[in-house]
Amino acid sequence: MLSYTAKIKQEATMKSNYILICFLMLVAVQVEDASAQTEIMPAGTQSSPTLLVGAMAHLGTGQVIPNAAVGFVDGKITVVAPAAEVTDRSGYDVVDVAGMHLYPGLILPNTTLGLNEVSSVAATVDQSETGQYNPNVRALVAYNTDSELIPTLRFNGILLAQATPTSGVISGSSSIVKLDGWNWEDAVYSADDAIHLNWPQQLLSPRWWLGETAFRDNDSYDETVDELDKLFTDAIAYEAAENSDRRNLKLEALEGLFDESQSLHIHAGDAKSIIASISFAEKHGVRRIVVVGGEQAMLVAGLLVEKDIPVVLANVHRRPSYDHEDTVSPYKLPAALAEAGVKVSLGYSGTMNSRNLPFFVGTAITWGADPEDALKMVTANTAEVLGIADRTGTVEVGKDANIIVSKGDVFDMRTNDLVYAYIMGSPIQLDGRQQALYKKYSNKYGHND
């Protein structure tokens, strides 16, 4: 029989061996995992002039050139014309894209991409701050260029995104980022473009876990609106004051709304909230207004057209919001709003499924949207909504060369097959972790077919 001391030593040895085995297993998993990854290097700046020849070019303006030549130098587009008219191609690296489709790079508004990696892991979530009123919070400085979700969006043609904070009544400022770069300083395309206001709901949804079936009044609605009114009133007074000895970061952060250097993105879905929030913004002198969400925007389309207020539809692939709605009403909404004269942008309020942005467009086309008008909903219209239309959103001479080339229709998941993508003229790597895993296991099991 072992002595007490011997037993202690034996248990310690067994524990040490157990820890060692666990460590070796972890290392093995990490090595296996690393072998499945592909190294993604930022593209940097454009190194040589490029001319894409032969593709059907969808310019984002409504115009289509069947056999086009599109050239760009130092990140700017220099040539957009039928290929037959571009006879002097000297000085360009000519890329044959005959039979393919060329588009402006897609733009994703209202996303937590780069701010939320794994929702169930708190350490990877940096999309919100404590408190209800945080106009001074900047999503840009939290944007993670190493997110493994970014390549999954680029692979479908999304090159720019509006990194947007969430939570609270005023969640902070968003920024437009390139989906390429070493860090957020490299990635920034337009900093602090908008302040995001989550308008309070007058009616709250039934709490199904309590067995409720009817909507109920929001008892704190009036109080929240009063607090917003006071905050905006104070911000206007603060802006008017000169040589203030004491700084107020929250009030300073709202100044861009009044000098029109920033827009106010109001997250509101139902018609009453849309009307009330627009009235509130105009009361305080805010002129650049965007409605985000807009599930019932069709009910107030006349007001939106009259005041020239665009709508960012947060999610086309959703169920109807109300029992009385047509089952496919969310699919029809982009076309209906566009026909009514509302400027429409398509987005997705989450992170993971935002990669499906081009297929939201495909759904809108299927349910009535004109294909070239639908293209604008993720390019030209979105660029206007985000205040970057002078730089991107269309394939035109003088604009940034943010361009994608697909073997087929980029809005059809059966033919969306990107071959080339350029951000400011630089070719970016399209393959990511998922493609590396596909190639790895295709090689492993391919010979058994």
Q: How far apart are the first and last CA of the chain?
A: 60
> Are 195 and 232 spatial neighbours (Cβ–Cβ below 8 Å)?
no
pLDDT digits 0-9 by tens, 92-124? 999 999 999 999 999 999 999 989 888 778 788
pLDDT at 207: 84
pLDDT digits 0-9 by tens, 205-248? 888 888 888 888 888 899 999 999 999 999 999 888 866 677 88
Counting every residue written for the chain, the total comes to 449
pLDDT digits 0-9 by tens, 422-448? 999 999 988 877 888 888 888 888 755
pLDDT digits 0-9 by tens, 66-87? 999 999 999 999 999 999 999 9
> Are 138 and 189 spatial neighbours (Cβ–Cβ below 8 Å)?
no
Q: Which CATH architecture has domain 106-392?
A: Alpha-Beta Barrel (3.20)
CA distance 188 to 182: 11
Average pLDDT over residues 269-298: 95
> Are 294 and 285 spatial neighbours (Cβ–Cβ below 8 Å)?
no
Decide if pLDDT at 21 tops 70: no
User: What's 330's DSSP letter?
Assistant: H
With a pLDDT cut of 70, the percent of the chain lying above it is 90
What is the average pLDDT score of the chain?
A: 88
Q: What is the pTM of this model?
A: 0.87
24 vs 193, more confident: 193
Average pLDDT over residues 371-388: 97
pLDDT at 31: 47
pLDDT digits 0-9 by tens, 296-337? 999 999 999 999 999 999 889 988 887 788 899 999 999 999
Parse the chain into domains and list their residue ranges.
Answer: 106-392
pLDDT at 17: 60
pLDDT at 39: 67
Decide if pLDDT at 184 tops 70: yes
pLDDT at 2: 47
